[in-house]
Structure 1
């Protein structure tokens, strides 16, 4: 998606973004260590049939500058709101993945008028609960010393359940054929995201004030954010619903791109 990207000056940072498709706006908020390209063409191209899809690089990664303000989940949410203001969008559908789900919740809480409905995928309302559940996983995920192929192997293991990979050997081979470079290219920005996640106090006590219709999606075999935490999030939402993929991991956007996109489309088009 980053081909033909544009930039917008939002407070202290230059945010890179793309807009593609026709229809009502849909803002995609990427998770930890990812760029707008990480959404993948199969997923985005399906969404583009019904929506004007807006994707961007969080500050410090991809083509966005790092800025001068201390990184935080709330700051990332302010960046997203600033981008919507820059584009003249008064309200939009919002989808957040993983850390992007943290950001999407804070965006909705801070600027409720901007969000007409919400999709939260592979996420929860308190990272500390996820960390307690998966301390080794987050230790590996946020190990900034890994680069290239080692980082790619770690990401593969985090995103996809081993049984699913065993049934899709071609996918695993293709994934490993493209070593990740974002950690080495954007080391300072990735380190900022680590600090932002670690300092986030969560929003479980504030989630009941999110009144917009919200779909929470999880992979039952998610090795990063347990599906049980996604279920707890749904219970706290006044207008929440839950859907899951039985053999899905944290990387549903790659495992089931069209199915996930159609699920999102059906919810947002109801």
Structure 2
């Protein structure tokens, strides 16, 4: 693991974050991870007070919110299965918006976004992300994808690599049909077949179940990538993140002890700071 990475992590965290080949330690106060020390002031955001904007992309209207200064690096947040842009932890988004112009949006058929009368695919959701980046006036953005959002991000990296500057894959898997993701597969199947399931959620479930995965294409990813996983993640276990990191040359791997699936909701400050560290790190040869 690169010496510069280890130095950066040591300087920023008071907790121990060790990478792919090491042990892990829990973030401070992991039993109550949303608790922030009284002497520390973090940026505050409010979904209620932040307007929703809309953009036409690939035949649908995608709703999004934006946070942070206009002249900062863009960061696109790609939500996971069944979630909407208001599902991101506000402390987490607030930390990211200190140094980045953060865009959080709803996938087609979810929340503020419209849909068409047809089943979509994970690759199509990646096309939507690429189209939104262009519609917002950028050639490329940094991206952060969680759970299904990390699957969308992988398809984005494979099919639209020029649209991505750096990518964070949180609670990632390269397929919902592998033995390690048995619980995730059962959850998706339940939502795909449920009678009272929202149409958008059902379509997301079907898209994930029909996704062939991308393991064979991971080695072709040349973008800078960081994977974040929790050791208590039962839906996308840490072993899957290790496998993905092994396929993407030069990728970072951060494991948080005791954190479950979609860890930014449980340890928003730690996830925010490690994300910022990764995005700001200059990994070019000296």
TM-score bracket relative to the smaller structure: 0.7 to 0.9
Q: Which runs of 5+ in 2 are unaligned?
A: 1-46, 282-286
* 2:155 is equivalent to residue 106 of structure 1: yes
**Does the 8 Å CA contact 1:13/1:68 hold for their aligned counterparts?**
no
- What is the aligned partner in structure 2 of residue 71 from structure 1? 120
Deviations 1:196-215 (A, max 9, x none): 00111111111111101111
Give the superposition deviation at 1:67. Answer: 2.1
> Distance between the aligned counterparts of 2:189 and 2:88, measured in 1?
20
Does 1:135 pair with 2:146?
no
Structure with max Cα Rg: 2
Matched, 1:120 2:120: no
1:108 is displaced (CA, Å) by 1.3
- Identify which of 209, 217, 223 aligns with 1:212: 223
| Structure 2 partner of 1:19 | 66
Q: Give yes or no for the alignment of 1:49 onto 2:98.
A: yes
| Contact residue 192 and residue 205 of structure 2 kept, 8 A | no
Answer yes or no: is the 8 Å Cα contact 1:12–1:69 preserved in 2. no
Q: Distance in 2 between matches of 1:78 and 1:145?
A: 22
Work out whether 1:222 is the aligned partner of 2:233. yes
Distance 1:137 1:195, change over 3 A: closer
Q: Where do 1:84-103 residues align within 5 Å?
A: 84-103=133-152
Normalising to structure 1: TM-score of the pair? 0.81
For structure 1, the 5+ residue unaligned runs are 148-182
Report the alpha carbon displacement of residue 145 of structure 1 after superposing the two structures with TM: 9.4
What residue is the counterpart of 1:257 in the other structure? 268
Q: Any idea what the Cα deviations from partners look like across 1:197-244, whole Å, max 9, x if unmatched?
A: 011111111111110111100001101101000000000001211001
CA distance in 1, matches of 2:52, 2:214: 32
- 1:20, CA displacement in angstroms? 1.1
Distance in 2 between the 1:85 and 1:56 partners? 14
Cα distance, 1:146 vs structure 2: 11
Instruction: Please point out which of 78, 85, 88 is paired with 1:39.
Output: 88
Paired with 1:104 and 1:134, the residues of 2 have a C-alpha distance of 18
Please report the RMSD computed on the Cα atoms of aligned residues, expressed in angstroms: 2.0
What is the SS of the residue equivalent to 2:120? coil
Count of aligned pairs: 232
**CA deviation after TM superposition for structure 1 residue 117, in Å:** 1.0
Query: Is the Cα contact below 8 Å between 1:12 and 1:68 reproduced in 2?
Result: no
Q: Tell me, in whole angstroms, the C-alpha distance in 2 between the residues paired with 1:141 and 1:195.
A: 7
Q: How far did 1:137 drift?
A: 4.9
**3-state secondary structure, aligned to 1:96:** strand
Structure 1 residue 142: Cα displacement = 4.9
Provide closer, same or farther for how the CA distance between residues 199 and 137 of structure 1 changes in structure 2, counting only shifts above 3 A.
closer
Q: For residue 257 of structure 2, what is the aligned residue in structure 1?
A: 246
